[in-house]
Amino acid sequence: MTKQEALFEFLLRKADDSLILGHRLSEWCGHGPILEEDIALTNISLDLIGQATELYKYAAEVEDKGRTEDDLAFLRIEREYKNVLLVEQLNGDFGKTIVRQFFFDHFEHLLYEGLMNSKDERISAIATKTIKEVKYHLRHSSEWIIRLGDGTEESHDRVQASVKDLSRFINELFYQDEVEEILIKEGIIPDVKEFRVAFENNIEKILEEATLKLPEEKWQLTGGRKGVHSEHLGYLLAELQYMQRTYPGMEW
Amino acid sequence: MEKDNLEALDKNFQDKVDREIKIEPKDYMPDAYRKTLIRQISQHAHSEIVGQLPEANWVTRAPNLRRKAVLLAKIQDEAGHGLYLYSAVETLGADREDTIDDLHSGKAKYSSIFNYPTLTWADMGMVGWLVDGAAIMNQVPLCRCSYGPYARAMVRVCKEESFHQRQGFEIVTQLARGTQVQKEMAQESLNRWWWPSLMMFGPNDAESTHTAQSMAWKIKRNTNDELRQMFVDATVPQAELIGLKIPDKDLKFNEETGHYDFGEIDWDEFWQVVKGYGPCNDERVAARKKAKEDGMWVREAANVYAEKRARRNKKVS
């Protein structure tokens, strides 16, 4: 694998994470539990779609095969999407959406801090812009974890169940293969293994304040980075791609 | 004595209105003025919130990244408008949640236009171009409304609505310049949205129960028919520019008046939708009720947590 191929693959992985999670959050639009949260969730969705756009643009340039950011976002088949499984999980109740966001935000925060120092100027510029958004997302999801965890008995039980359900996708956030190994050597991306402990400390501190616990059993699922997804992704893509598939080659 | 006093207050109030002095929340205002404003502003707020739904229907199917982001940003603006309008209602002593309950029970109305379904992507263009375009016609005069908080909220709302109208027109223009399939999609959508958009201005002046009083109070500055005419005059040349046909066989420019003459609105359809029997009335209210019910545990948790925190802070200090 060349450095260029590795860079393309990495950008695709991260762009897909942002697009798919942004899409999921956009499903909340008009249905939030309170007007302020309707606005907050669509705002985060908007940030994520903006990040995805920047990453796809750069990926398209790196690939240099004449594809655009929209071709990459809308015209691949299911096995070609490389997002982690966590982001494609169904919204569930508001608490589940928040738990999904909470795990993701804490990972993104550490990753993008590292990416700000990337030797690749474009990635470092994207990271510098993105980190500001991620800090806000992180504060939003962490505060809600505490509120829901330490709120009523019902909210505690609901959000605890979601923590249990979604924690099996945490490990995959730290997935690395040849792609990352090449880019770490080149100084383009940080080695996420180095901040695994920080990640766990950060989330456990907040979970403790929220009177919540990560489950004892450590069964973990992976596959997303290789394009092997859950059953949920196909339906998401059917909606996402509807216009591009139904009316091929048209400008909108 | 008391009656004389009230008369003096009412006279003083009307005098301020006549001299274009804004009425502020703590100023004296007649009960009927307050009630009219609560009704109008809360229904306006509900329209923004219910109005999210027909557009949210296409967010997950937007055709490219840019359109998806713009559509999301636009819907977020609408939710923001709802937020400041509910705040404006609260300055009149009404409770936001009570007004929302009135929406859910069917007591409070919202703009009937949102009871029409969004069936194709072209509808996202029509909602921006026609629906937001009609809303601007209604709302620009409200920036000069006699009630200060409402007038000020409308200044910001109108700025954003004018962006929305342009993005809608941009979507439609792109379709009108596109392939045959896209042109047909745009025309078919215009055929469905044109008449409901004209209905957004309400009944004819002769039938409008609130207009005269609202105009005397300077809540309203133009009659329904005046605003409708302004909308037709502004919109017909835009349709011509991009080669779409307004679905009205009676539409014709009148050299004498300098305005477009247009056909008769189907008032049976208008009243049917107002009374709750439009294509999506039930679905829209059900979606809002469901959001409130599903979110109940979240709001309860937030309240309980806030109380716990307040107690803990008290102990510490």
B94-137 residue pLDDT tens: 999 999 999 999 999 999 999 999 999 999 999 999 999 999 99
Residue A216 lies in a domain: no
What ipTM does this complex have? Answer: 0.96
CATH topology for the B3-315 domain: Ferritin (1.20.1260)
Report the alpha-carbon distance of residue B107 to residue B114 in Å, rounded: 17
Residue A79 gets which letter from DSSP?
G
Q: What is the 3-state secondary structure (H, E, C) of chain B?
A: CHHHHHHHHHHHHHHHHHCCCCECCCCCCCHHHHHHHHHHHHHHHHHHHHCHHHHHHHHCCCCCHHHHHHHHHHHHHHHHHHHHHHHHHHCCCCCHHHHHHHHHHCCCCCCHHHHCCCCCCHHHHHHHHHHHHHHHHHHHHHHHCCEHHHHHHHHHHHHHHHHHHHHHHHHHHHHHCCCHHHHHHHHHHHHHHHHHHHHCCCCCHHHCCCHHHHHHCCCCCCCHHHHHHHHHHHHHHHHHHCCCCCCCCCCEEECCCCEEECCCCCHHHHHHHHHHHCCCHHHHHHHHHHHHHHCHHHHHHHHHHHHHHHHHHHHHC
Q: What is the CATH number of the domain that holds A143?
A: 1.20.1260.10
Domain count, chain A: 1
Q: Count CB neighbours of B306 within 10 A.
A: 12
- pLDDT score for B316: 78
In a domain, A251, yes or no: no
**Would you state the pLDDT for residue B1?**
52
For residue A92, is it within any domain? yes
Distance CA B222, CA B138 (A): 9
The chain A residue lying nearest B295, using CA atoms, is A33
Q: What token pair was written down for B223?
A: 């009659």
- Count A/B contacts: CB-CB distance under 8 Å: 139
The tens place of each residue's pLDDT in chain A, 252 residues long, gives: 999 999 999 999 999 999 999 999 999 999 999 999 999 999 999 999 999 999 999 999 999 999 999 999 999 999 999 999 999 999 999 999 999 999 999 999 999 999 999 999 999 999 999 999 999 999 999 999 999 999 999 999 999 999 999 999 999 999 999 999 999 999 999 999 999 999 999 999 999 999 999 998 778 999 999 999 999 999 999 999 999 999 999 999
- B222 contacts B141 by C-beta, under 8 angstroms: yes
* Inter-chain CB proximity B63 and A252 less than 8 Å: yes
B304–A151 CB contact, under 8 Å: yes
Minimal Cβ distance to A42: which of B76, B174, B181: B76
Could you say which of A26, A31, A93 has the minimum Cβ distance to residue B72? A26
Chain B residues inside the 8 Å CB shell of A74: 63-64
- A162, two tokens: 């979601």
- Report CA B312 to chain centroid distance, whole Å: 43
pTM assigned to the model: 0.96
CA distance B61 to chain A (A): 5
Q: B205: distance to nearest CA of chain A, Å?
A: 34
Split at pLDDT 50, 70, 90, the class of B249 is very high
Minimum distance, in Å, between the CA of residue A194 and any CA atom of chain B: 34
Closest among A12, A50, A75, A56 to B63, alpha carbons compared = A75
| Phi and psi angles of residue B13, each rounded to the nearest 5 degrees, phi first | -60, -50
Flag whether A124 is in a domain.
yes
Determine, yes or no, domain membership for A31: yes
C-beta atoms surrounding B314 within 10 Å: 8
Inter-chain residue contact A42 with B53, CB threshold 8 Å: no
CA B272 – CA B194 distance, rounded (Å): 17
Burial class (CB in 10 A: 0-12, 13-18, 19+), A162: buried
Instruction: Give dist(CA B69, CA A56) in Å, integer.
Output: 15
- The answer to whether A152 contacts B304, with C-beta atoms less than 8 Å apart, is yes
Q: How many angstroms away from the CA of A1 is the closest CA of chain B?
A: 29
Mean pLDDT over all residues of chain B? Answer: 96
Q: What is the pLDDT of residues B24-68, one digit of tens each?
A: 999 999 999 999 999 999 999 999 999 999 999 999 999 999 999
Residue A238 inside a domain? The answer is yes
Are the C-beta atoms of B142 and B151 separated by less than 8 Å?
yes
- The pLDDT tens digits of the residues spanning B138-150 come to 999 999 999 999 9
Q: Best of A19, A21, A38, A246 to disrupt the B interface by mutation (most B CBs within 10 Å)?
A: A38
A35 closest CB neighbour out of B75, B82, B302: B82
Q: Contacts of residue A33 in chain B, CB cutoff 8 Å?
A: 291, 294-296, 298-299
pLDDT at position B166 is: 95
How close does chain B come to A150, measured CA to CA in Å? 6
Give the residue from chain A lying closest to B64, CA to CA.
Answer: A70
